[in-house]
Structure 1
Amino acid sequence: MWMQVFTLLLLWASRVTKTTADTRRQCTELLPLDLLSFVLERDTSRVVPGVQVKQSAGVKGVQFLSPDTSMSFPASQLLVNCDLFPKEFSIVATVKVNRITQKRDEYIFSLVGPTKAERSSVEDQEDVLGGKNEEFISEDEQRAKRNETKRDEKSGGIVLGLKLSRNGLHFVFKGHGKSTEHWSLKGIHLTPNQWHTLVVVIGLHHMKLIVDCNSPLEIVPSRAFPSDLILQGSRFHIGSRGRWKGLFSGLMRQLVLVSNSDASHQICPSSDPQLAALSVPPLLLDLPVRRRQNDRHATSFGTAGRLSVGLERPCSESLRGQLWFNPLKKGLYVCDGSAWITVLADNKRLDYVLEHQVLITSSETHDIEVFQIPGMGLMAAMAQRSSASGSAVYLWTHLGFQLYQNISTHGALAWKHFQIGKKAYLVVSNSGTGTNKSLDSEPDTDFSVIYKWSKRRKRFVRFQTLQTYCARDWEAFTINEQTYLAVANHRMGNNNHTINSVIYKWNRSTKSFEVHQTLITSGAYDWEYFRVGPYHFLVVANAFDGMTTSLDSVIYVWIDGRFQVFQKIKTFCATDWEMFQIGSRVFLVVANGHRLQGNGPSQYTINSTIYELDMSARLFVRFQDIVTYSAVDWEFFRLGEEYFLVVANSYNGESYSLNSILYRWQGYEGFVPVHWLPTIGCSDWEFFSSNGDSFLIYSSAKAPLSKVFKLKTY
């Protein structure tokens, strides 16, 4: 009976532990955390106890005199809204090392768990329930446990830390099973009494060290870094592990924690690699030279030529002429007495991609259109499948996209935003029967609707209805100050795919769109308008003719007021065209959905192709093939001087849960994959920017959700 009760207690404890672990949040999206500034700047009126500022080789650093509590703080004060230490991170430290004796270890920093006295009663209960019963522990084990308890009462155990010894650099952490693990880089050469900047990069399965921006040293340990290091009750100790033993004897100038990033990219290369800076405490920067009132030879810029380094710096009249280098933005600024003026600024570079928002929608979404409305800001129209709930327009706020307006649609497949003068419009592709259908209208006819933005009502209101046939896409463009709309009619009925798609022209007199030209298309899926020099082009994605997906998609050129055939390109269920330019080079990329010939099986894993315009031959020629999985969209965007393509992979023949892939332009190599983004039935990608930040949003045609990803740059 007693054993049954004991077993039930153990099972209950394991369930409690599992439930708790499932709700713990990983520390992920963090800015660089300046650990040294955090302790030195808490009271700017004096130097904190336990340290003194010293200068060596003209550079200031702090010397640790004792493991004072002022050099320690709870982890929760910096790592907020999360429970688990980051799985991947970097440490940037600038130190001057003394000669270390043979048996001495010196901690640059440590994260120490709570002492036994500090643990909560809940944790004590979990320890009792999850541990061994005293009756089943040997006498030796009990003696060892009592000794461990005495040590814990004085100081908690190491959660993780970085220490130096005579043999090398050691990263220590609490491993699986609560045993202490050591990842060591031995034989590194740190010249005593000289400054060195160390970047330690920790990943799940590797450790990398960069000293003074030189080539990295790397090890691949046999055991992975744990992803479940609990922060609760732990404290950071700077320059020690909270004890005299292990106190750092050298000087420290910089100590920064960077989550989810290799920080070496942010500080290297450097003109002064031994002092490469990410964030240096203001206390350790050179003091500005202030002009004396009676000094006639002093310049009007008393601080001219002085340079401060860090993430945030005030600009005031006393700092006029001061230079500031922001290592995160790699920008150089000068203070004009009130604000920082940019002298040099580095372009943004993509570092990594973070999930920013999961947007639950009323139904599956086929397309997203992101646009700006003056006086309102950034908005997004989503073409949603359900006719019952219709589609929605969202407004971008500091919380992400928020529902702004519902619009009645019927099997909506696409939205397009355009402007005529200062007036804004939206046109939707309806593919299902709606209430607008008249009794005497043609069978299998749909009605797509143009909406106009009302400044008074701050809503989109119905403006004009156009007859379409399972319209898959709208494209808006202007030629010679005339506005046009092109609709991609996909099919008439279930079998007739070779039909007319229509180009409409805006009639300024009647203030409505009228038919301008019709073009024969086969299961048209997308139109893309682009311009090269004085020439206007329109390319259609032909997807299916009723028998095969192996079709010619057609590029048209504008001649004498109408579009005429320019070039035909063989495609396979073409679903999207995207035009982009890199320098003077012009490209078109097609999204191929699948191969289907007669009654044979479909092939979903096929090449999508990038074509480049050959100016001399006046033709688009094949440039690069990229393997895709029933691709339905490409999105091109630029960050700084880097160029990217992201593909919407929707289906591989077995599953809709696939990685959609982000590619970066590598010049001669073309586009290479750099990020894999998990998606479900991905149907569209849109890139947008807000307040200096860059984002991607995707829609799902198989789940009632869309996701926003934030592009972290450096």
Structure 2
Amino acid sequence: MCATSYQVANSFSGMTSLLWWFASFIFSSHAENIFPRPCTDPHPIDILLKGLRLDVHRQDAILKRSFDPESQAFAYRLTKTKNAPNFSADKIFTKCAFFPEEFSFFMTLKSEPDNLSSSGGGGSGRSLSNWDRQCIFSLRHPTKKTTLVALEIVDKRFILTYNNTRKRFADVSLSDSKWHSVSLSLSGGGAHLVLDCSEEQHRKIKRHFPAMLDTKGSIFQLGKCSRKTFPFQGLIKELLFLPGTDATSLACIQNGVRIEQGNTLVSPNRHFNYAGGRNHAKDGNSNEQICTWKDMGNIAYDLKKNVIKVCLNGIWRDAPERHQRRLDYFETYQDLFVEGGAVDVEVFSIPREGFFAAFASNAPVENKETINRTNRSRTKGNTPSRTSAIYKWMNGKFMLYQTLPSNAAHSFKSFRIGQQFFLAVANYGAAMDGSETTSTIFRWNMERQKFQIFQQLQTWTATDIEFFEIKGTKFIAVVNYAKGSSLLATSAIYRWNRKLRRFQKTQQLKTTGARDITAFQVLGYQFLIVSQAFNGRTTFLESVVFIWHDGKFVEFTSIETIGAVDWEYFSINNDHYLAVVNSYNFGPQNHQKAKTYSTQSTIYKLNIHKKAFERFQNVPTNSAIDCEFFTIGEQKYLVLSNAQNTADPREHDSVIYRWQGVDQFVAVHRMKLLPTADFEAFNIGPDIYLIYANPKSDISQVLKAKFI
């Protein structure tokens, strides 16, 4: 039976003690004939502890001691890179100022890629993507501004840098929010990495580690490798430097576990070692069962005690009961003044800058200087007559941060390409007559700390914009509701041109009254689904699913919908779902025009064998425009918006549905809110929030979750 990250972290403590014991033996006088005496003091060095001792007395301590409830362990978190914890290399290299030619690093860590935490200064939240360069530590020369040795993580790559050489180890999966051990050693003509004492990689070194790498005046820094790196996002329990030896051979006990008589621990994969005759119990009356590195990521069942055991501090112990947070209700947390109302909200973060919310609003421009300050590039296009608002999370609240020129904005989408951050807006056009307008891509200016116009796209009544990636190639898709007086329009796919640094139109899709486009992947296949809401006669239309084939999108299938305005893709337990929001029932199928805003929205489930999405569940909706899937712990939820287009107050609730297995989605919360057009869920630290856009007044709101 495999565990997630529940049991792994504290098992490192016992194993680290074993590592220290072996290292002390190897570096004793009896081992002088085995290893030549290195230039440095022959002792393991705890880099984390060194940095902690210097940082613990600071009022704004950067190394924060944190408790991980899943693993029941204490570890440390780096909160910012400014004034990163550092100490002089002269305190380590005391005999001579040269880095050893052969060495190894050993660390236990847990990546938290989705973590939002205070970035120290202003209280702004942030979240890093997989493509950020996350630094574990570096040895740098401050005056020469050179990096002697550094350890970084970029996506699934673990990178060792030395003497202007970068040695990359691919497919090192650390971004799964689980505890891992990493051993990295360098000797002779090779570099050797071992993940969790099981997955090994070896790299030949063309450029050997320099024999006389001078460390005089250099400093060790935790979490800072260069100006372009960010501190490691997660928890670090150990970070050891071992001169002259391979940590893997010491820390990772080999196979050949001896099964002792009386072992009562069983697992689907193997039996576990029993402490044959060795008394570990405090009361001295019973033996305890030990665990090793090979038991990381596993739990065992004790047949005698009828309990689940977890490996903690080298001993199989009873698994502590875990308290799972369960949603009780949402309460109003903040009112946001969004001039002109808003039909869409997009939440996103920019590393080192903060956490933001962009509202697709329709506020009037105060003066032309607002546009001129934003449009530094003087891109040609229609002069917008309206603005949209961006808010930044500061000191526990959203505050107005910037206004962007827009033209009856209908949708925002944030994305990044390399180290650049973008925000794209789909403009419907204030004329509301299907005339040509432009939708805009803004780029974040790191120096000015503002968004500026980067590129404009020709559109007609654009209703949605989507960013997606296919095998490293970036795309944007924009759907148009109408063109002129005709609801028959063409929506466009744009491909990122790496040389020109611009998006270029690569394909057009025929659409009718399109309101939404959603990109998703299933089993390696890339799909786009377009909601088609109205053709001038009826809302009973088919939404079209496209699949990527031979370098372009082709029609894959279609699904009958009624005034479809939004699609939401999500997965539960490896099953794939699509939820459609049907907003308006108009046409011959409802010739009496009865309850046109009361519809049945539908959830579809993928039948892999038939290669088709099949109807799974109908959900009653009123004036619905948006559907948002979110999770709290192991609980899954769907929230349906309500624009309150009817006069009956009984039909004004925005409803939250909870996934209950064979009961499917069940309505659990009916919220008395203002009109809602779009929901987004986000978290700041342990707190969970919902934010919604109000299309009918200037007040949108932030809701905060309360738990049982």
What TM-score comes out, normalization by structure 1 length? Answer: 0.50
Please say if 1:392 is aligned against 2:389: yes
Give the match's secondary structure for 2:677: strand
Aligned to 1:519: 509
Residue 486 (structure 1) aligned with residue 474 (structure 2): no
What residue is the counterpart of 1:448 in the other structure?
439
Aligned to 2:426: 429
C-alpha change, 1:333 and 1:573, in structure 2 (3 Å) is same
Cα distance change, pair 543–387 in 1 and its aligned pair in 2 (3 A)? farther
Aligned pair in 2 of structure 1 residues 673, 518: CA closer, same or farther (>3 Å)? Answer: same
Contact 1:695 1:708 in 2 (8 A): yes
Counterpart amino acid of residue 676 in structure 2: C
Which ranges in structure 1 are unaligned for 5 or more consecutive residues? 1-297, 306-331, 337-341, 435-441
Question: How far is 1:299 from its partner?
Answer: 9.2
Give 1:417's aligned residue: 414
The DSSP-based 3-state class of the residue aligned with 1:408 is: strand
User: 1:549·1:597 contact (CA, 8 Å) conserved in 2?
Assistant: yes
**1:218-267 deviations in whole A, cap 9, x for unaligned?**
xxxxxxxxxxxxxxxxxxxxxxxxxxxxxxxxxxxxxxxxxxxxxxxxxx
For the residue of structure 1 that corresponds to 2:340, the secondary structure is coil
- Give the drift of 1:552: 0.4
TM-score (norm 2): 0.51
Q: Which residue of 1 aligns with 2:184?
A: none
Q: Which residue number in structure 1 is paired with residue 322 of structure 2? A: 345
Counterpart-to-counterpart distance in 1, 2:410 and 2:548: 27
Distance 1:618 1:334, change over 3 A: closer
1:534 to 512, 524, 541: 524
Distance 2:657 2:323 in 1: 22
The 5 Å alignment of 1:213-612 reads: 345-388=322-365, 390-432=387-429, 444-493=435-484, 495-597=485-587, 601=593, 603-612=596-605
How much has 1:346 moved relative to structure 2? 3.2
Change (3 A) 1:606 1:458: same
Give the direction of change, closer, same or farther, for the CA distance of 1:363–1:652 in structure 2 (3 Å limit): closer
- Output the CA distance in 1 between the equivalents of 2:391 and 2:310: 38
TM-superposed deviation, 1:641: 0.9
Structure 1 counterpart SS, 2:673: strand
Residue 624 of structure 1: aligned partner: 617
SS at match of 2:672: strand
Q: Deviation per CA, 1:670-694: give whole Å up to 9, x if none.
A: 1011111123331100000001111
Deviation at 1:600, TM superposition (A): 5.5
Q: CA deviation at 1:651?
A: 3.1
Residue 696 of structure 1 corresponds to: 690
Question: In the TM superposition, what is the alpha-carbon distance from 1:397 to its structure 2 partner?
Answer: 2.4
With a CA cutoff of 8 Å and minimum separation of 6, indicate the structure with the bigger relative contact order.
2
- CA change 1:533–1:392 in 2 (3 A) is same
- Asked if 1 retains the 8 angstrom alpha-carbon contact of 2:331 and 2:705, the reply is yes
* Cα separation, 1, equivalents of 2:575 and 2:694: 32
Instruction: Note the alpha carbon deviations across 1:593-631, whole angstroms, 9 max, x for none.
Output: 111116763611110000000011110000000110121
Q: Distance in 1 between matches of 2:507 and 2:645?
A: 38
- The one-letter code of the counterpart of 1:449 is T
The one-letter code matched in structure 2 to 1:420 is I
Q: Please give the secondary structure, in 1, of the residue aligned with 2:662.
A: helix
1:664 equivalent in alignment to 2:658: yes
Q: What amino acid sits opposite 1:351 in the alignment? A: D
- Match of 2:406, SS state, is coil
1:713 aligns with 2:704: no
Q: CA deviation at 1:334?
A: 13
Measure how far apart 1:348 and its partner are.
2.4
Cross-structure match for 2:635: 642
**Residue of structure 1 equivalent to 2:6:** none
Distance 1:666 1:458 in 2: 44
- Kindly indicate whether the alpha-carbon contact (under 8 Å) linking 1:554 and 1:565 is maintained by their aligned counterparts in 2: yes
Change (3 A) 1:662 1:443: closer
Which residue is equivalent to 2:607? 614
Amino acid corresponding to residue 620 of structure 1 in structure 2 = F
1:684 equivalent in alignment to 2:681: no
User: How many angstroms apart in 1 are the aligned matches of 2:395 and 2:320?
Assistant: 30
Q: Contact 1:451–1:462 (CA<8 Å) still a contact in 2?
A: yes
The runs of 5 or more residues in structure 2 that have no matched partner are: 1-278, 287-308, 314-318, 366-385
Q: Secondary structure at 1:419's aligned position in 2?
A: strand
Task: Specify the alignment match of 2:204 in structure 1.
Answer: none
SS at match of 2:510: strand
Distance change in 2, residues 1:300/1:373 (3 Å):
farther
Distance 2:696 2:645 in 1: 14
* 1:301 positional shift: 8.7
SS at structure 2 position matched to 1:608? strand
Contact residue 548 and residue 596 of structure 1 kept, 8 A: yes
Conserved 8 A contact 2:605-2:616: yes
Alpha-carbon contact 1:387-1:408 (below 8 Å) kept? no
Larger radius of gyration: 1
8 Å CA contact 2:434, 2:461 repeated in 1: no
- The structural deviation recorded for 1:542 is 0.5
1:180 equivalent in structure 2: none
Measure the CA separation in 2 of the matches of 1:402 and 1:344: 40
Measured after TM superposition, the shift of residue 349 of structure 1 is 1.5
Q: Report the Cα distance in structure 1 between the residues aligned to 2:478 and 2:489, rounded to whole angstroms.
A: 12
Assess, with a 3 A threshold, how the Cα gap between structure 1 residues 522 and 347 changes in structure 2: closer, same or farther: same
Render the CA deviation track for 1:54-74: whole Å, top value 9, x for unaligned: xxxxxxxxxxxxxxxxxxxxx
- What is the DSSP-based 3-state SS (H/G/I as helix, E as strand, rest coil) of the residue aligned with 1:668? helix
* Distance in 1 (alpha carbons) for counterparts of 2:483 and 2:673: 31
- Give 1:581 shift: 0.3
Aligned partner of 1:358: which letter?
Answer: D
Residue-by-residue CA offset, 1:467-514 (whole Å, 9 max, x unaligned) = 011111101000010000000101112x31111000100001111011
Look up the SS of the partner of 1:638 in the other structure.
strand
Deviations 1:182-223 (A, max 9, x none): xxxxxxxxxxxxxxxxxxxxxxxxxxxxxxxxxxxxxxxxxx
Q: RMSD over aligned Cα, in angstroms?
A: 2.9
Contact 2:689 2:702 (8 Å CA) reproduced: yes
CA distance in 2, matches of 1:563, 1:669: 36
1:255 match: none
CA deviation string 1:685-713 (max 9, x = no partner): 00000011111011111111111111112
CA contact under 8 A between 2:434 and 2:482: conserved in structure 1? no
Post-superposition Cα deviations, 1:330-352, rounded to whole Å, max 9, x if no partner, equal xx99999xxxxx96633322122
| Deviations 1:264-309, CA, capped at 9 Å, x for gaps | xxxxxxxxxxxxxxxxxxxxxxxxxxxxxxxxxx99999xx9xxxx
Quick check: 1:433–1:446 contact (8 Å CA) kept in 2?
no
Residue in 2 that maps onto 1:258 = none
Aligned-partner Cα distance in 2 for 1:505–1:521:
19
606 and 510 in structure 1: CA distance in 2 versus 1, 3 angstrom threshold: same
Q: Which residue of 1 aligns with 2:669?
A: 675
Secondary structure of the corresponding residue to residue 542 of structure 2: strand
Contact 1:366 1:385 in 2 (8 A): no
